[in-house]
Amino acid sequence: MSAYSYNILGIPEILLPKPDISMEKWATIACDQFTSNQKYWEQVETEVGDQPSTLKITFPEFYLGKIDETAKINAIQDEMRQYLAQELFTNHQGMILVERQIDNGIRHGLLATIDLEAYDYTKGSSSWIRASEGTVDERIPPRMRIREGAPLEVPHILLLIDDPQKKLIEPLSALKSSLPVLYNFDLMMKSGHVRGYSLAIPEIENRIMTAIREMQSDEALNEKYDLPGEQNRILFAVGDGNHSLATAKAIWEKHKAVLGPNHPARYALVEIENLHDPILRFEPIHRVIFERECPALEQLQAVFGDEIEILPTGTEALFAEVDATPDGSQAFGVLENDQAFLVRFIKPPSALCVGSVQHFLDNWQSTGGFREIDYIHGTADLLASVSGDHNSGFYLPPVQKTGFFQGIINDGALPRKTFSMGEAHEKRFYIECRRIL
């Protein structure tokens, strides 16, 4: 337990672009999307042009390893300082209700700050805010180099709250018609529409804090999770932006002895969404391996033998069958050499199919079986990424919401890159900023 006292949720001071700035060019998608899609990022650069944009103050992961990273990070921080010096922002003191139109409807989120003293991303943590899946350690240092010395944070972090009674966010969305609108625009690249409503009203802020306190009560936690002690003291799980939040935590821990307890780096700006929002979909994150030494099917048969069943099929039939995998079974797809195969585990090695596949891939890569692995959102990008004689794709089933928080409590964390909240183009866009220096 931290020596600092804290309120988990805080009221932020947010920087928003002034009205003369094009929001359509300003807002760009989370940096960890379309990581193998060069055309996407080239088109974003074309659309943004020379206008102020979050594209210029974030580091799309597509470019990692392809450009001079130190020069890019310096350019990002310089651009942030220029935006501040040019007074491109207006200040908003208060939380924001975010309304996002996506393919299957409208979802809502609460934009607020969280205290990093209440967050721990290590597996088995008993903190109020926890990682939902394993952290890929090598993805943190590039983010640390960006955040350290940066005057601004530009977040795409989404936290999930387990609120089946819909006490926190849904009552706020019912007030939309009476709330001031802070922004309202179409997102680029056919990614839907977004609106932001001000919640800077004392009565509403008190209602939010009361709902949080009620969900933190022992009575509420025991009713949901029926576990003794601190292990069930969980309020939020990271849904998206796990590595960005882990980076903020790592930097805070590194410097907090010098910065003191009231420094803005102690906090992180996040959007909170209800796990039980019916519009919120858990999409699988697929895998692609590059420059493999032998076909994936050959390696699977060598490792699992008669503990798997392999059936050739068509691509669309494969997707449908994997998506319909019944509870208690594990099946996934393999795409290679312009062919599609359904693979079923007879004796699954892990509790989740994604865990069984990831364990297989980790072991294979450790022996030099392939050069690189990428994590892909969406079927179109998966199919585009498996072209070539020495690449293979792994199409995975979705993760169910039922027992999601219970699984984090019981197992510490889900396998890394287990799920995605929606398709790639539905991810959170960078819009709001906050000072961290």
Residues of the chain with pLDDT under 50: 1
Query: How far is residue 73's CA from residue 86's CA, in Å, rounded to a whole number?
Result: 20
Residue 1 has what pLDDT?
41
Alpha carbon 204 to chain centroid, angstroms? 27
Residue 65 has what pLDDT?
87
What DSSP designation does 245 have?
H
Sign of CA dihedral 43, 46, 48, 54: positive
Output phi, psi for 75, to 5 deg.
-65, -40
Query: How far is residue 285's CA from residue 141's CA, in Å, rounded to a whole number?
Result: 23
384 Cβ contact list (under 8 Å, min separation 6): 36, 37
Q: What's this model's pTM, rounded to 2 decimal places?
A: 0.83
Residues forming a β-bridge with 120:
130
> Nearest to residue 176, comparing CAs of 102, 104, 85, 110?
110
User: Within 13 Å and on the Cβ side, how many CA atoms surround 133?
Assistant: 20
| CA distances from residue 324 to 240, 331, 396 in whole angstroms, order as listed | 24, 9, 11
Query: How far is residue 94's CA from residue 182's CA, in Å, rounded to a whole number?
Result: 11
132 Cβ contact list (under 8 Å, min separation 6): 160, 237, 238, 239, 242, 404, 408, 413, 414, 418, 419
